[in-house]
């Protein structure tokens, strides 16, 4: 899902710059959603899959895009096979593609439209903000962020940094402080884009990081507890 979002975000770059619309841009929501989903499991609710990025991507590709792709290719080669003299060649190519890429005829599931819409909705957020789903909604990202302080691989910035702001601008997760030195470890996905674009080669990634660069997840205990109590009350009601 992250790869798909990165690709579509680049396609939406022009639209995003021109867009004047503003939608909620707060990172805390994904933590509230995580608490809500964890508590919902205690009440045997099966809504986790609707917010799991792996589940969304798998369902969108396997149950929606893949069947349409098969029908499109079959229709194209069905037309090419009718061309005189070279039709047999396309028939052989079609058979090879079917055996390698489409080993079985994928059926259309009754709810494939809903699954496709869910995937499109996640991608469409990129028209307003880069990696909006990853930064603000994804509960899996929130769960991983809670354990980010124990990560062995961290971003480090040397004293040669001039605070030019290029790394801040290019960071898709918005995980770098305005001066370029600080890192929100819970938001950093270790894409190393900042290291590639740094003109001073001041950024490295390693197993140690200076103490002043460590930033905990920006989520108060009170807000976390309130979210949990609200979720439990909603289900009990």
- What percent of the chain clears pLDDT 90, i.e. is strictly above it? 13
Of the chain, the end-to-end C-alpha distance in Å amounts to 34
pLDDT at 61 over 50: yes
Any idea which residue has 């307003």 for tokens? 128
Tokens at 127, concatenated: 């028209």
pLDDT at site 220: 53
Any idea which residue has 């009170």 for tokens? 222
Task: Show Cβ contacts of residue 92 under 8 Å, excluding neighbours closer than 6 positions.
Answer: none
Question: 104: pLDDT confidence band, cut at 50, 70 and 90?
Answer: low
Angle between helices 139-146 and 29-42 (to 10 degrees): 100
Going along 146-212, which residue ranges are E strands? 154-157, 183-184, 203-206
Q: What is the mean pLDDT of residues 53-70?
A: 80
pLDDT at 203 over 90: yes
Tokens at 27, concatenated: 């990172």
Structural domains present in the chain = 2-131 (no CATH), 147-215 (3.30.70.20)
Question: 20: pLDDT confidence band, cut at 50, 70 and 90?
Answer: very low
Handedness of CA 220, 182, 206, 191 (dihedral sign): positive
pLDDT at site 143: 87
Give the count of beta carbons closer than 10 Å to the beta carbon of residue 211: 5
Which helix (DSSP H) or strand (DSSP E) does residue 80 occupy? helix 66-80
How many angstroms separate the CA atoms of 202 and 174, rounded? 18
Backbone angles phi, psi at 136, to 5 degrees: -120, -20
* Pairing outcome for strands 154-157 and 183-184: unpaired
Task: Show Cβ contacts of residue 195 under 8 Å, excluding neighbours closer than 6 positions.
Answer: 203, 204, 205
Q: What is the pLDDT of residues 118-144, one digit of tens each?
A: 788 888 887 777 888 888 888 888 888
Higher-confidence residue: 104 or 163?
163
């Amino acid at each position: 899902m992250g790869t798909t979002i990165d690709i579509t975000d680049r396609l939406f770059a022009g639209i995003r710059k021109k867009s004047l619309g503003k939608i909620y841009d707060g990172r805390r929501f994904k933590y509230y959603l995580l608490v809500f989903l964890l508590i919902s499991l205690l009440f045997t609710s099966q809504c986790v899959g609707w917010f799991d990025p792996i589940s969304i991507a798998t369902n969108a590709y396997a149950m929606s895009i893949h069947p349409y792709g098969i029908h499109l290719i079959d229709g194209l080669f069905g037309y090419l096979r009718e061309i005189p003299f070279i039709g047999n060649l396309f028939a052989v190519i079609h058979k090879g593609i079917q055996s390698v890429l489409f080993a079985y005829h994928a059926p259309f599931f009754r709810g494939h439209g809903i699954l496709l819409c869910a995937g499109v909705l996640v991608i469409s957020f990129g028209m307003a903000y880069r990696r909006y789903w990853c930064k603000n909604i994804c509960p899996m990202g929130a769960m991983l962020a809670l354990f980010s302080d124990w990560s062995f691989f961290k971003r480090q910035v040397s004293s040669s940094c001039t605070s030019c702001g290029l790394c801040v601008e290019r960071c898709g997760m918005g995980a770098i402080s305005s001066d370029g030195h600080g890192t929100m470890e819970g938001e950093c996905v270790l894409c190393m884009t900042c290291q590639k674009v740094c003109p001073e080669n001041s950024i490295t990634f390693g197993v140690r990081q200076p103490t002043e660069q460590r930033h905990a997840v920006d989520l108060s205990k009170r807000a976390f507890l309130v979210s949990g109590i609200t979720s439990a009350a909603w289900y009990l009601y």
